[in-house]
Structure 1
């Protein structure tokens, strides 16, 4: 029988793809042994289970959808209590699996599991509660999940740390290290005596998620530094927050070093151009990544894109002003669109030009004119039909989940305007049969 390690080997070499993993096919087999005393629950956000003589330790806990399945799979492996759980960071696909274990502990008279996390996880949960509506909207759009509701209650950690700490339970000694990358609250777990490295979302089998256009600041430079540090540990098993395990010191070093190089080249080029006085527009359309990196099976821009990382680096160092003085105190978008429509002959002329640009393969330009047409005349059916056509093409051609989500949302808005329905209804129809992500 093919093991998850065999499958992972074929994915790393490009002989297989990750479709079975992303469909959730692997969960039907329960927990998968992946190393010395560690099992993997291959959920959207992976969970790693460490049985010890003093109880079970979890690294990450998954999301709400699979919490019950995780509990069942863990109980099929062992009846020991869960003594502790570590959050790799506070994203909701990693921190919502504790409910069944907490309830079980209360029902059976066990001590409640101790949840350990970096101290910034507390601030994240507090922020999530303050921005629940906003997080619902941006994640509905990002994942094309129109019925998604952002949670209001969280399982807060019982113990937090600032820089590093150690979890000692039974024969397990797990070193936790804080670093900033996709988030500011990450906890990397290194188990030296077993050569096991749990890296959370520092590696996700895709181009690093350091540029998400709808989320808070990411830290490309620190992320690259952390990848270099991890590459030098000599780990024998790399257990990522998303995707499959990687086995072998050389392979792990190569994987992490390649990811670091990708971020380093983006960071270096962006800062060089910023220091030379370039505008954001110039930088976004100039900075690039070597093709050989993006063609690696584990670095393809399927979730985030290097272009978005460049924008996040700019935001980190340069603020929100993009170098265009007209944008410093910009006019309302609809006012600008109406003026352009007036001098060009109306919104339908803008829409016609968007259609011509689309036919010529100038898809980005077409997007601008299609959007301006509906901004100028929000109830114009011709403008909305062209807008739907343009952003349908942009969604089809986009490599990343981030871009596809934004473009699909625009298509749904225009189709809803044409049909007199709501955006939620239209999106529900569009996403039937698609994978619905966790956040």
Structure 2
């Protein structure tokens, strides 16, 4: 069992991005923007209202203090947050380089505004210390913290900044707005769990938080984590030809991920709590940006916290690292409900990413446009779908109306109009576009070999592709040359031309994730897969929070069905500290389980769940636990060995841009 839990933290990005600090040895050089790309960047400058500076005013309003430099290290001296690597080339007085879309550059200039800010009397934020914001709300005796970042070291540094400039006060409560890891993972940086258990600190979250915070990426965690390397540009150099930010923030921190379970849950819209003298009214928004999420209105402050349902970007209806498709229609309705419930009583809006906004009229306009974005994407995608358009055709046809196109907080820095439209199609129609040719397509590699054969061979394809590359037809060149790369994986000329195409597409991308995906693809084509170890295991808190059922569901997807065919094995797991027993059965090529022991089991394992956690975390081997008497076998121990031999170990660095 001791390799059973690689890479399955909630939000697989956190696990994958532990690789972000690993330097790559002498990669192949990048290339400059072509004249076609330069012209595309100039067209963006001409098309959008860059003279509108309101967001720059908002991003700097209420500034109190910041350290001159911001590099945060863990206890071992490893850098877990390095704002300086961005500051060395991104600044307010620097125009967009030719290799960066001017709109994305504007987003990066805003995201690099860091430090301690006053939102309104009694509400403060530290921004630029992680991909998310940490918010401190002043109570009678201490701080109420909303969303304590992704890892403990940045959260601790933010708390120290607050204490230095606003006075040292205890944290008396923490509120998790939703179940994504960048909104709870840093909690132990500001709170001692002993104080939580003693009742000194309240931990408040929406109902269902605990299950979703742990389980969201357990099943598909390895694939999501590998794809997150692409989405967040974890291994890209931070320069004008590399990573310039994720759109939602700069990037994610690389520190210690933790979780303290909530002590109380919010269950319904309109529920009110008074925490350390601060009145809060909650709005439940399940199935929006996260499976469980909630907004909070502060009546005494006339302030509305929108969690992550409205930020200063179009968000993802489907995140590119992989997830279940979100409901754009429901999302828009909950923003509308916020307007109806609190809009006429709100003078400041703030949230867990980006900067606040002040003034009722401005907030009303902003919320209505944010609502309109998700509703427009939903309604127009479905309209076109009902006219027979496929997801790809819808993405090419859909255009925002001018009033939304020029709306800076709705630009596609994180989500994009194109991939969100495809997500709406996917939600309703699934993968199949109704064309019989696509019902049982050949896999990419055998299809590529036939494509290249039909196109006259790889040399002919590359000759034509170079002509189209010179014309700036990078999307088509990528489509065509991908066939050569998959047909002939060792064709260096093809890989280099495909990399060149991805690179220019990345330079032109307005979306931070699109840029990162293209540039990471170019990197791997030129240099091969990163020569680093597998991503780290899930954090101890996440493993401890996993139920036995979550573990068994994960083991079931590791079962190699072909190897298990024809076999029948029954294993009993008896957890002494939980007082629970389970029977796992391998039969018909699948793993199932029941919450009771089977008297005819081949083997039984009796242990505490804590002992199992030690094995999963690498603190001890199974053999050591047996020797110490903490794990006992009953029956045939060889049956357990046979079971373990049926489980696959997932390779983190699987191929993406090559077969």
TM bucket normalised to smaller: 0.7 to 0.9
Distance 1:401 1:323 in 2: 32
Whether 1:205 and 2:312 are equivalent positions in the alignment is yes
Q: 1:75 aligns with which of 146, 163, 174?
A: 163
Which residue of 2 is the match for residue 195 of structure 1?
302
The equivalent of 2:181 in structure 1 is 92
Please, which of 153, 157, 173 is the counterpart of residue 262 of structure 2? 157
Query: What pairs up with 1:210-221 in 2 under 5 angstroms?
Result: 210-216=317-323, 217-221=325-329
Q: 1:187 to 1:321 in 2, by over 3 A?
A: same
2:408 matched to which residue of 1?
297
Question: Number of residue pairs matched?
Answer: 410
Distance 1:267 1:42, change over 3 A: same
Q: Which residue of 2 is the match for residue 317 of structure 1?
A: 428
C-alpha deviation, 1:227, in angstroms: 2.0
Aligned equivalents of 1:214, 1:183: Cα separation in 2: 15
Say yes or no: does 1:416 pair with 2:503: no
Instruction: Give the Cα separation in 2 of the matches to 1:6 and 1:214.
Output: 30
Point out where structure 1 has 5 or more consecutive residues left out of the alignment: 426-439
Q: Secondary structure of 2:300's match? A: helix
1:139 aligns with 2:232: no
TM-score w.r.t. the length of structure 2 is 0.58
Equivalent of 2:127 in 39, 42, 46: 42
Q: Is 1:178–2:284 an aligned residue pair?
A: yes
Structure with the greater relative contact order (CA < 8 A, sep ≥ 6): 1 or 2?
2
Matched with 1:405 is: 516
CA distance in 2, matches of 1:109, 1:160: 16
Contact 1:246–1:252, Cα closer than 8 Å, also in 2: yes
Query: Per-residue displacement from partner, 1:340-393 (whole Å, max 9, x unpaired)?
Result: 111222223223333222222322211101211101100011111111111111
Contact kept in structure 2, 1:207 and 1:294, CA below 8 Å: no
Question: Which deviations, in whole Å up to 9, do the C-alpha atoms of 1:143-170 show, x marking residues without a partner?
Answer: 1113998988533333233433332123
Give unpaired runs (5+ residues) of structure 2: 1-53, 62-91, 94-105, 237-251, 533-659
Q: 2 CA distance for matches of 1:42 and 1:409? A: 27
Instruction: Answer with 146-155 or 41-50: which moved more.
Output: 146-155
Q: CA RMSD in A?
A: 2.8
Matched, 1:120 2:208: yes
2:417 to 287, 297, 306: 306
More helix by share: 1
Rounded to whole Å, the distance in 2 between the matches of 1:283 and 1:163 is 37
Cα distance between partner residues in 1 of 2:445 and 2:55:
54
SS class of match (1:102)? coil
Are the counterparts in 2 of residues 136 and 150 from structure 1 also a CA contact under 8 Å?
no
